[in-house]
Amino acid sequence: MTNKAFNVAVIGCGVVGSGVADILIRESEKLSARYSRKVALKSILDIRDLTGTPYEKYAVCDPKSVLNDEEIDAAVVTVGGLDFAYTITKKAILAGKHVVTSNKDLVAEHGRELESLAYDKGVRFLYEASVGGSVPIIRPLRICMGANNISCIMGVVNGTTNYMLTRMEEDGLSFEEALWEAQTRGYAEADPSSDVDGFDPARKIAILSSIAYGQFVDYKKIPTAGIRKITADDIAIAGALGGRVKLIACTRLENGKVAAYVEPQLVMNTSYLCSVSGAYNGILVKGEYTGNTFFYGIGAGKLPTANAICGDIVELLTGAENDAVKPGFIAKEAEITKDTGSSKYYIRLDNIPDGEFTPGIDNIKMVTCGSTTAFITGTLTPSELEETVEKLSAVFPGASAGLVLKVLDASV
């Protein structure tokens, strides 16, 4: 043991925070041996009383006990929400401590300022755990593909909605039934909007875009749609066609501008993203020098997320100190543009009048399931899609497009 000890404080001993504490306690010896310095959990800050828990001996209740403790090298911020998480992160950085977090709201909302502040203070602000749970994605993008030119990232990055869609598929549950089940099992919040309306994946794809393109991407500017309109019939039709409905977060670099979106898509089984089930996440990265690379694993949960946080702590132990995206670099905000690519589409028509109709439109296939009628189109540009929807409305008077999904296959 030649170097000084490396001490960690965990701020917020909830699901993920207690997982980090568990791993640090169990693996302290292994990490200490590997890095020739004592690596240890020193404090746990929580407003709850931790008496009688395995965390009792680490418990502190005053933020100053962490901030003013010069022996603490890194603070793990595992509190949710923005207010306290932001304040304590800023104070920890200003106190000269590295900060590692899984709080994606914090990273998407304040990451730009916090990364810049950390750079100025000569510490790191790391957040591998904010995207993908156990799936290594931020470090592979930053380091392994650090010389590469990334053109597109496309993924299933929200475990809650993917669990719901999988349950709708398996047991024909409605959206409401699947949501109720996800809430009962603790996968979805009482207010599920962040997941089911796509804001959580929008934050994640904004974080990945910023890293991949070296430009700041504001998640609030990303067109975002969730899964509320998806019905069990849509999912059954998708299955009959050899595909599945998935909530896809996507970002592309097009002529220096960023085309990002979150929306449900009909993913065909020729795409790797089709096989991402339940609470798993899968992320496809396209790069100039690498072609397609795919990363897959458990997208959330106590130990998978805690493991990602501990990976950031390991990075700190390696001494890597120069990989903050520089403030001057991150200061450039990306220009957001629309994704104008062509695609096949799934169009569900609602309120189709009684009677027999034939679409009479070229290159379109009608599919039905229960009382649901939908169409699969050939490859269309965005304006051709609009025309097709208009034509369908003319053929079926009174009907309206209830749902339009891009079809994602291996060619994309």
Chain residues binding its own copies by CB under 8 A are 19, 23-24, 27, 30-31, 33-36, 128, 134-136, 139-140, 142-149, 214, 272, 275, 287-298, 303-304, 306-308, 310-311, 313-315, 317-323, 325-326, 329
CB of 282 to its own copies, least distance (A): 8
Task: Look up residue 199 and give its two tokens.
Answer: 């804001």
Residue 264 or 282: the one with the smaller Cβ distance to its own copies is 282
Phi, psi of 64 (to 5 degrees): -65, -25
Amino acid letter, 305 = T
CB of 386 to its own copies, least distance (A): 36
CB of 76 to its own copies, least distance (A): 12
Task: Look up residue 182 and give its two tokens.
Answer: 């996800």
Residue 99 or 376: the one with the smaller Cβ distance to its own copies is 99
DSSP-assigned letters across all residues of 237-251: HHHHTTEEEEEEEEE
Phi, psi of 353 (to 5 degrees): -70, 160
Q: 150, 250 in Cβ contact below 8 A?
A: no
Q: Which of 42, 97, 104, 204 is catalytic?
A: 204
Q: How far is CA 301 from CA 48, 132, 262, 331, in A?
A: 21, 11, 22, 33
Enumerate the β-bridge partners of residue 375: 347, 366
CB of 121 to its own copies, least distance (A): 16
Nearest to 162 by CA among 300, 304, 347, 294: 300
Residue 50 or 310: the one with the smaller Cβ distance to its own copies is 310
All residues at 6 or more sequence positions from 165 whose CB lies less than 8 Å from its CB, including other chains:
178, 227, 230, 235, 244, 245, 246, 247
Phi, psi of 134 (to 5 degrees): -80, -10
CB of 91 to its own copies, least distance (A): 26
CB of 373 to its own copies, least distance (A): 32
Strands 243-254 and 150-156, how do they pair?
A: antiparallel
Residue 117 or 196: the one with the smaller Cβ distance to its own copies is 117
Angle at 338 between CA 202 and CA 399, to 5 degrees: 90
CB of 138 to its own copies, least distance (A): 9
Task: Look up residue 354 and give its two tokens.
Answer: 């009684």
C-alpha to C-alpha distance for 405 and 263, rounded to whole angstroms: 8
Residue 255 or 318: the one with the smaller Cβ distance to its own copies is 318
Residue 217 or 405: the one with the smaller Cβ distance to its own copies is 217
End-to-end CA distance of the chain: 52
C-alpha to C-alpha distance for 211 and 58, rounded to whole angstroms: 35
If phi > 0 it is left, if psi is from -120 to 50 it is alpha, else beta; for residue 268 that is: beta
Q: Is 204 a catalytic residue?
A: yes
Residue 220 or 326: the one with the smaller Cβ distance to its own copies is 326
| Burial of 230: CB neighbours in 10 Å, binned 0-12, 13-18, 19+ | buried
Q: What residues are labeled active site?
A: 204
